[in-house]
Structure 1
Amino acid sequence: MTSDQDRARAVVFLTVRLVRRHDLTAEEAVTAIAQVRAGQDGPHTQLVREEATAVMREAAIPIRRLLDALRPVAVAAARAFADIARALRPIQAAAARTARAARRDRPDWASPYGPPPRRGGRGNARTATRARTSRRRPQHHRREPRRDS
């Protein structure tokens, strides 16, 4: 849903609330909402602002309840992760020492699997295939059309 669609639904929602709760006509409610959106003052713009604030408060109530219910779980999870991190510190330190004591019989960049392949040199399968497939046949080697007898 686009933001324009969201705005249109909010206008309809506020219009219905203004008509039902404050006995405005639909035209008065829509005009007041348009005035608030344009930053203008009108006879009913204060009602629009009050209704919008009330809607936001009402929407926040279940969100606050959910967050209050989840807070103990989040605190317990944070404590558990902190305990795990403390338990892993010695293991992490040992792993760092082991990594520093790595083999020194070759430079760090050298691979135990041999040197990296050369580009464009002899034995490069990709360039050899490309060279083979890009050659054109000489004119005298073109096939003759088949003759069905």
Structure 2
Amino acid sequence: MHEDPLRIYAGLVGRRQFLRAGMTALLAISLPRWAVARPSLEEAIRTFTGGANVLDGRVRLDLPPLVENGNAVGIAVVAESPMTEDDHVRRIAVFNEKNPEANVAVFHLGPRSGRAMVSTRIRLATSQVVVAVAEMSDGSFWSSRASAIVTLAACIEDLS
């Protein structure tokens, strides 16, 4: 006859410890999204680059300096690259300073992409800095920063 694994575990660690562990697990999975620590802009970039040095240049981030409505902000990122087999852009990532999520998007490219250019619309919670980082085929990382003043914010949550 097989015993219930939970009953065996409860008998090994004690009932109170078992209940405490269960309550802790339940609390952890039920926390609202905002309660989990948001990485800083620099931490998010460091995670993307694996800690590698990020250089300024070779990337242009087009972001309007004044945004009337943060719900749909058009951005474009262009990286200087011939997009050949030997010299191309692997990935372009977009990060923000104050939205609930630091990572906005990651675009995967290759030599067959033709041009190292991406464009999309993003949401901006408030006036902030947006950063684009391009990973080149040689393993180097290049970036560009732009600031936007947002008059009507999107992503309204606790941004502290």
TM-score of the superposition, structure 1-length normalised?
Answer: 0.20
Larger relative contact order (Cα-Cα within 8 Å, sequence gap ≥ 6): 2
Larger radius of gyration: 1
Point out the structure with the larger strand share: 2
Point out the structure with the larger helix share: 1
